[in-house]
Structure 1
């Protein structure tokens, strides 16, 4: 089994290194692939402190579309255009490319991880082993275990499997607890009348409608585009396939780049980000509907940490989940970029707010806490966001830069 894991990790690492990185300029919003850095440095703990616990919440890796519904709608519009002789020269090949893309998706299964997605989580596991390998080896020798909490979706199981493969390459005897399906990791959209109004206002704006029609005119004649009942929804169906394709590059060479000009992609990325901002992000000032469902996850972070401090045998807890999980968690913690809500009566824009789905909800994005303890039994916690060292939110007082007492975090985060 160890040899199998080692071979899998080598294969996945080779795959990621051979693929070109997707540009992270916002064009793909939360579907931008995570990448596979060679290393991710961690902040050295204060003198005398050693790691005693690791916990992480992350989004699954790159995947296929979660369903074929949007593709079916796009094909229906394309078929009608073909019958009316309303296709452009560019649009002629759309159905062929969509069919090829769907063939790759169907081989994997809708909603399941692509080769790149598995490689992304294998990379997270490799860097985790690089940074904390000595701790995990010692914990394993002491009889401690590593726990995985997942959801009911296969892509979270696949993320866990890929990460475990990398960890086992460094710690072959790694002891795993029985995997636990945690329904708290499944979060539905927070919704208010104000939030829905803001989203509708953005989707109906001239900028979004013009971008949608501009995209559609790449495929269809202007007269036909004018006949489409909801051009924004029609364009978003194509945009979502386009945004998913970079995460599928290990399974198919179809990209949809020729159908979606960058100038239109960025506007539709904004429209998508607006929906996510109000449904799963910081939301409207004075309201917490968009992120309060993440509070049980924060409570679980503290519960698992307390268990370990009191002598528990779980050395690490990893929670591969979803974009809809990590975005509200980031907003709840007010992580970098997720600190600012939209003012009442105003709408979220890229100009007035730093929140981006490509940061807060990106594929394989994650939040990591690591606890350290010294000989006097004092415990300090530090945090990384997408494997970058970050401070806890304003109002949390650090003992040393980036290191906080548990009691202080309970005070300032709850």
Structure 2
């Protein structure tokens, strides 16, 4: 009975992972790629441990919440294209509004600060904190009563610090007695891209697809006359700039009413999201078949997961560790662990038809990977995992506990993930 129920939960979790946590299919259909907002559901599921095991440690790593653009570069390029069309009298009705939309968007970003969390972004991590505390409320309450602390670690970048603060507020809204240690900075939570020559060639090939070029023309012709679009030196790049504004806008929905949806039909957004995902896939995701450089830089994060758990087992007083980082960490970490959707490398050029990887799952704003460790009276430790707050299994080379397929002995994880 337990096994059948666990299998059902797994199927449900895999379906849930394919969708934004907002539970709105519209977010998928609008093709925001790795700028997809996380959402703020009332609750998320956990899998109960086998009988006799009690929770004694929780840890995670997550991407910061929704933010403004990290720089104005894409906006400046888009405005330059617009000005050229304006000088030549080549603006469509939609195009005549585009510069005002970009400038209104910039005003909201300047108020927030480029690269900083939006109102939605703060709510996302406050919600994660609230749900985490609710899911494990008795554990956090007991830890606080014993004087045990919760560690918050961030990258040096301000938006991760904002996310940590929002998470703390959410946690304390459920467990007011929770005590957090002074926040620390870990530079291993900044990871550079790891594309190879083959990966960069695949990115270029993905962006040269006729479907992507057609989508770019569709988008640009909504703003500019066809004669001007033909003059644009890099139409795909110009369209991807607009797609970046379009995909960033949902995360700023409470800070500006600008959406850029009038220049970005869903069919074109899908193709441009696919091109965006191809670039991210080879830089931070599973990458080229037989190569590991796109994700191996996440190894220090995995090492820290094991080290933090070992310290707790040895009697440490830190009951939980929460790491606030970037998509450049969560995407390679998911590929390193071979989480659902992140386990398939590309033998041919990445496409949605040939590969299940999606930036909206592996790299989404607020996306996170959590381990919860349970222990019995004999000291045996079992670990279970959630991805974006949905229960998932470890990769197939890891053998789960016979008691429940979601739980794994720690020594087994060290062996299969080592």
**Which TM-score applies when normalising by structure 1?**
0.94
1:373 maps to what in 2?
375
Q: Deviations over 1:190-225 (max 9, x none)?
A: 121111111111111211111111111110111111
Does structure 1 residue 352 correspond to structure 2 residue 354? Answer: yes
* C-alpha RMSD over aligned residues: 1.5
Partners of 2:176 and 2:392 lie apart in 1 by: 31
Instruction: Give, in angstroms, the shift of residue 377 of structure 1.
Output: 1.0
Instruction: Give, in angstroms, the shift of residue 152 of structure 1.
Output: 1.2
How do 1:58-69 and structure 2 match up within 5 A?
Answer: 58-69=62-73
Distance 1:149 1:22, change over 3 A: farther
How do 1:12-411 and structure 2 match up within 5 A?
Answer: 23-25=27-29, 27-343=31-347, 346-399=348-401, 400-411=404-415
Partners of 1:250 and 1:21 lie apart in 2 by: 20
Partners of 2:225 and 2:371 lie apart in 1 by: 53
Instruction: Give, in angstroms, the shift of residue 170 of structure 1.
Output: 2.3
Question: What is the DSSP-based 3-state SS (H/G/I as helix, E as strand, rest coil) of the residue aligned with 2:61?
Answer: strand
Question: What is the DSSP-based 3-state SS (H/G/I as helix, E as strand, rest coil) of the residue aligned with 1:54?
Answer: strand
Aligned residues: 396
Partners of 2:25 and 2:262 lie apart in 1 by: 18
Are the aligned partners of 2:369 and 2:386 in contact in 1 as well (CA < 8 Å)? yes
Are the aligned partners of 1:26 and 1:269 in contact in 2 as well (CA < 8 Å)? no
Are the aligned partners of 1:212 and 1:231 in contact in 2 as well (CA < 8 Å)? yes
Are the aligned partners of 1:26 and 1:358 in contact in 2 as well (CA < 8 Å)? no
Are the aligned partners of 1:370 and 1:383 in contact in 2 as well (CA < 8 Å)? yes
Are the aligned partners of 1:121 and 1:163 in contact in 2 as well (CA < 8 Å)? yes
Instruction: Give, in angstroms, the shift of residue 301 of structure 1.
Output: 0.2
Partners of 2:140 and 2:368 lie apart in 1 by: 19
Question: What is the DSSP-based 3-state SS (H/G/I as helix, E as strand, rest coil) of the residue aligned with 2:272?
Answer: helix
Distance 1:369 1:391, change over 3 A: same
Q: Deviations over 1:90-114 (max 9, x none)?
A: 1100001111111111000000000
Partners of 2:123 and 2:28 lie apart in 1 by: 18
Q: Deviations over 1:221-262 (max 9, x none)?
A: 111111111111111111100000001001111111001111
Are the aligned partners of 2:195 and 2:284 in contact in 1 as well (CA < 8 Å)? no
Partners of 2:231 and 2:370 lie apart in 1 by: 49
1:3 maps to what in 2?
none
Distance 1:22 1:254, change over 3 A: farther
Distance 1:204 1:237, change over 3 A: same
Gaps of 5+ in 2: 1-21
Partners of 2:417 and 2:410 lie apart in 1 by: 10
* Moved segments of 4+, more than 3 Å: none
Partners of 2:133 and 2:26 lie apart in 1 by: 25
Instruction: Give, in angstroms, the shift of residue 26 of structure 1.
Output: 6.0
Partners of 2:30 and 2:84 lie apart in 1 by: 32
Gaps of 5+ in 1: 1-17
